[in-house]
Structure formats: C-alpha cells, structure tokens
Amino acid sequence: MSRNVDSANLIQLDGIDMRGALFLKIAFRSETSYISTLPCNFTWGGSTWLGTGSMGKVSTIEEGIDVQARGITVSLSGIDPSLLSESLSDIKVGSGARLYLGLFAPDSLALVADPICIFAGIVDQPSINLANDAATILLNIESSLLRLQRASNLMLTPADQKILHPDDIGLDQVNLLNWQALRWGS
C-alpha cells in the first residue's frame, strides 16, 4: 500500500524517542466505532477514539512485492461473556475498516501530524476465545484485494448491463449477431 508520509511523521519515525498509538476505524451494524490503543480516550479528526489500552491488540501487518491479499487480526479482550452474543450480532461482515498509526511528541499527548493509514480492508468472519470469566473477539480484516478473487457473476447480456447502467442500450443488438453470417477474406 502506497503511503504519503509527511515530514513531521518521518522525523518522529527516525527519532530515538518514538511514541505512537494505533487507531482503528471500523463500521458495525449499529455505528462506526473509533478505537485506539491509548490508555485513555483521544479526540482526533472530529471523532473521539475509545482508548482500550492493553485490551486491544493488532497482529503483524505483512507486505510483499507480489500482488496477494493479506490480512490482519484485531483482538479485543476482557469482554463480559454475557455481552458476547450482542457484540457478535453487531459485527457486519464485509464492512470497511482502516488502521492508522499516530505519532506523538515526546513530551506530550499531541500528534505531530495526521496519523498514517497503514492498512485498509474489509471485515471477515470473527472468532471467539473463551477463558475463565472473560471473552476475546478476534476480527479478521482482509485486504480489499480479496474481492478480485471473487467472480462478479455478471455476463455480457443486455439484462446484466442494465443492472449497472439502466439507460445503456449498447448490448441490445448483440443477440442479432447469433444469426448473422459473416464472411472473412475475399
């Protein structure tokens, strides 16, 4: 994924005392949630990002030179098992998710620049880990390249063309070509 990183973030990334946090924007059925790995709530981009501290984790983000759909796993632990069914029913498979890296000044909780989008994808099936009196929800977020592996199930017919473009009549005459005798050459 190509990224435009401004100079303030580059300086902070090269520094010895780098302080950062991850910000996850994810669409659920009921609302869009804004979650961060900070130990407190944080306001950025007109939204308040809920601080999960050590209860939220993100797997390693892999990149490669080949065109391949890679994903990440986001986990949220410490969920009360009585709220588990409600939490799972709110997850919308196929919705969008974006993960940002925010870098802070060494002496304060102020962003040096806008956070960098380090991963964008779509939510896949969740899984659950139950242990003792708490539950952990693992959300798989797949790259948007995954959509390229699925068939579109559309044909080059007038009916399918009208699904996407109702006023287009470009394929209306294609059926007549079945009965047309065409001769090539002399």
Whether 185 is in a domain gets the answer no
Edge-first strand listing for the sheet containing 19-27 = 42-44, 47-51, 32-36, 19-27, 96-104, 116-131, 134-143, 72-79, 56-58
Whether 174 is in a domain gets the answer no
Percentage, residues of the chain above pLDDT 70: 90
pTM for the predicted model, two decimal places: 0.71
What is the average per-residue pLDDT within 97-126? 87
Whether 1 is in a domain gets the answer no
Total domains in the fold of the chain: 1
Whether 78 is in a domain gets the answer yes
What is the average per-residue pLDDT within 156-184? 83
Cβ-in-10-Å burial (0-12, 13-18, 19+) of 79 comes to middle
Residue with tokens 């995954």: 146
Whether 138 is in a domain gets the answer yes
Whether 160 is in a domain gets the answer no
- Find, among 76, 80, 87, 88, the residue nearest to 22 by Cα: 76
Q: Letter for the amino acid at 120?
A: A
Q: Is the per-residue pLDDT at 1 higher than 60?
A: no
- Find, among 23, 29, 28, 27, the residue nearest to 45 by Cα: 23
- Find, among 38, 12, 35, 9, the residue nearest to 24 by Cα: 35
3-state SS assignment for residue 54? helix
Per-residue pLDDT tens over the stretch 119-166: 888 888 888 887 777 778 888 888 876 666 666 777 778 888 888 889
Per-residue pLDDT tens over the stretch 68-99: 677 888 888 877 677 677 777 888 888 889 99
Where in the sequence is the domain holding 85, given as residue range(s)?
A: 7-150
What pLDDT sits at residue 53? 78
Whether 167 is in a domain gets the answer no
Whether 156 is in a domain gets the answer no
